[in-house]
Each structure stands twice: as structure tokens, then as C-alpha cells.
């Protein structure tokens, strides 16, 4: 409860800060617009040459793309800026200020930043997703929508856990910036269903960087191909990764030596 109130306060401050720079909205709009256009062109090109890609139709791929943009918006507006700030804090020693507050440091470190303008992608991703749904020939039941919501939330949670594990290694090696760049590279793979990739890459995208759970699985829910077994696997893996990441965080936190120590 208290964490929720803190989140609200931090978001309000962050939003007020960013809303001062209105021109950035147009910069973001341009950026998001261009990547949307290239994404749509790529899908259009694919379907010039084939009626389906690895069993996925055009509307289904639009759903995947919409979810990819929405999860990307969560990443870039919320998860990534917090992780960057955490790394900067560790490098400068200012993480002391987080440690001395009467709140769990992991919670505080994860909610301090919000990049409001990236929320443009929420709208764009939602539009692409909605358009894909309208074009879909199969009907979507209420149960599918519930499964979609649940797997999407679990998937985003898993991605956050992976990030907190990567970032908390900053307590040991200080610079994880390059690892984060690599993560951004991997994120591009999520634009297509992971089922088209070779086994080694699919495995990586499922259990190391869980984009399969965050993007492909929710898309499967909406395109009527999700099995109960996958839902169980996703939920169990979410529980495992939450527990593991918490343990990794605590282990790494012990290595933080502070600015004045």
C-alpha cells in the first residue's frame, strides 16, 4: 500500500518535470512514428511474398508488433530509466541516499523515474494491436482476453526481473551499460513470433531474456493458439524468476560499498 503511494508521488514529480519540455513530445512522436512505419513496411514486405510466416497470418503478426511496441513502451518509459539511474547512482556513490530511506531499496530504486513522452508508444502500440484484432478472422473469447492480460503482466514482470538482475551486477562491476545495449539489440527480435527462430535463439529468448513470455505468449492468447500448458509454464517461470532475482539483488547489494566507505 505504502509502495503504491510512493509510486504515485514519484510519478507525479517525474511527469511534472518532463512536461516542462513540450518540444520533446514532437521529437518522441517523430521517433515512434518512424519506427512504426519501418515496422509496418517490414510486415507488408513479408506478406508480398507469403500468405503466412511460420503459421502466423498478417493480422496475427500485427498483434505481435502491437504488443512489442507496448512492452517496449513499458521498458523505455519506466524500467530502463530506473535501471540507468540505479547504475549511475552506484557509479557516483549516490545510492547511499536510497539505502538510508525507510523503504525497501529495490522498490525505491525501481520506481523513481518515468519518461512520460515514451507513453506515445502505448497509444501507437494499442492502435496497431486493435487494428490487428479487427482484421482477425477468428473470434476472441473473454477467456482469451483474460489469458492475454495475465500472460502480458507476467511477461513484463519477468523482463523487469531480468533487468534488475543485470543492473544489480552494477554493484560489482560498476558499468553494465554495454550489457543494456545488448539487451536493446535482443529486444528487436521480439517483433516477430519467437517460434520462427532456430532452437538456440528461441531458448535464449524464452529462458534467458524472456521476450517469448512477454510478447509471443500474449499474442498467442489473442490468436487462439495458446495452450493451458504454456500458461502454466509462464506462470511458474514468473514465480521462479521473481524469487531468483530477489535473491540475486540481495546478494549483489551486499557488495555495495557506498561513497564514503
Partner 1 sequence: MRLANAYWVQARLGLQAQMQYRVASLFSILGFIIEPVVYLVVWRTIATAQGGAIAGYTADEFVAYYIAWTLVRVTNIGLTPYVWDGRIQQGRINDHLTTPLHLFHRDLASFAGWKPVWIAWWIPLASLLVLVFQPQIRPSLWQILAFFGAVITGFVLRFIVLWVLGLTAFWTTRASALFEIVTTAELLLSGRLVPLELMPPWVQTLANWLPFKWTFQGPIEVVIGKTDAAGTAAMFGYQFLWIAALGVLTAVVWKRAIRRYSAVGS
**Contact positions toward partner 1, by CB under 8 A?**
27, 30-31, 34, 37-38, 41-42, 45-46, 48-50, 53-54, 177-179, 181-182, 184-186, 188-189, 191-192, 196-198, 200-201
Output the smallest distance, CB 189 to partner 1, in A.
Answer: 5
The residue (of 5 and 22) whose beta carbon lies closer to partner 1 is 22
The residue (of 183 and 237) whose beta carbon lies closer to partner 1 is 183
53: β partners: 56
Helix 142-168 to helix 228-253 angle, to the nearest 10 degrees? 20
Output the smallest distance, CB 254 to partner 1, in A.
Answer: 24
Output the smallest distance, CB 72 to partner 1, in A.
Answer: 15
Output the smallest distance, CB 100 to partner 1, in A.
Answer: 32
**What gap in Å lies between CA 223 and CA 209, rounded to an integer?**
23
Question: How far from chain centre, in Å, is Cα 199?
Answer: 22
Q: Are 3 and 107 in contact (CB under 8 A)?
A: yes
**What gap in Å lies between CA 148 and CA 164, rounded to an integer?**
24
The secondary element (H helix, E strand) that includes residue 160 is: helix 142-168
The residue (of 11 and 186) whose beta carbon lies closer to partner 1 is 186
The residue (of 43 and 136) whose beta carbon lies closer to partner 1 is 43
Q: Which of 65, 63, 57 is nearest to 32 (CA)?
A: 65
Q: Are 252 and 172 in contact (CB under 8 A)?
A: yes
The residue (of 154 and 210) whose beta carbon lies closer to partner 1 is 210
**What gap in Å lies between CA 254 and CA 62, rounded to an integer?**
44
**What gap in Å lies between CA 151 and CA 146, rounded to an integer?**
9
Contacting residues for 133 by C-beta, under 8 A, at least 6 apart: 59, 63, 140, 222
The residue (of 101 and 175) whose beta carbon lies closer to partner 1 is 175
Output the smallest distance, CB 52 to partner 1, in A.
Answer: 8
Output the smallest distance, CB 241 to partner 1, in A.
Answer: 22
Amino acid at each position: 500500500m505504502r509502495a503504491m503511494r510512493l509510486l504515485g508521488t514519484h510519478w507525479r514529480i517525474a511527469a511534472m518535470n518532463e512536461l516542462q519540455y513540450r518540444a520533446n513530445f514532437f521529437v518522441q512522436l517523430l521517433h515512434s512514428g518512424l519506427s512504426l512505419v519501418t515496422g509496418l513496411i517490414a510486415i507488408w514486405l513479408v506478406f508480398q511474398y507469403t500468405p503466412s510466416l511460420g503459421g502466423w497470418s498478417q493480422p496475427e503478426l500485427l498483434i505481435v508488433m502491437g504488443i512489442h511496441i507496448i512492452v517496449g513502451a513499458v521498458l523505455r518509459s519506466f524500467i530502463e530509466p530506473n535501471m540507468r539511474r540505479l547504475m549511475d547512482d552506484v557509479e557516483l556513490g549516490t545510492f547511499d541516499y536510497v539505502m538510508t530511506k525507510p523503504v525497501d531499496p529495490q522498490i525505491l530504486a525501481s520506481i523513481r523515474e518515468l519518461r512520460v513522452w515514451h507513453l506515445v508508444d502505448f497509444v501507437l502500440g494499442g492502435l496497431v494491436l486493435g487494428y490487428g484484432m479487427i482484421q482477425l478472422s477468428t473470434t476472441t473469447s473473454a477467456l482469451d482476453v483474460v489469458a492475454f492480460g495475465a500472460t502480458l503482466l507476467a511477461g513484463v514482470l519477468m523482463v523487469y526481473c531480468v533487468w534488475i538482475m543485470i543492473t544489480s551486477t552494477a554493484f560489482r562491476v560498476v558499468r553494465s551499460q554495454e550489457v543494456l545495449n545488448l539487451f536493446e539489440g535482443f529486444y528487436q527480435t521480439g517483433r516477430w513470433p519467437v517460434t520462427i527462430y532456430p532452437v538456440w535463439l528461441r531458448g535464449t529468448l524464452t529462458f534467458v531474456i524472456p521476450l517469448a513470455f512477454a510478447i509471443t505468449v500474449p499474442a498467442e492468447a489473442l490468436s487462439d493458439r495458446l495452450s493451458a500448458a504454456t500458461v502454466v509454464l509462464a506462470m511458474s517461470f514468473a514465480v521462479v524468476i521473481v524469487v531468483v532475482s530477489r535473491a540475486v539483488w540481495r546478494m549483489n547489494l551486499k557488495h555495495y560499498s557506498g561513497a564514503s566507505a
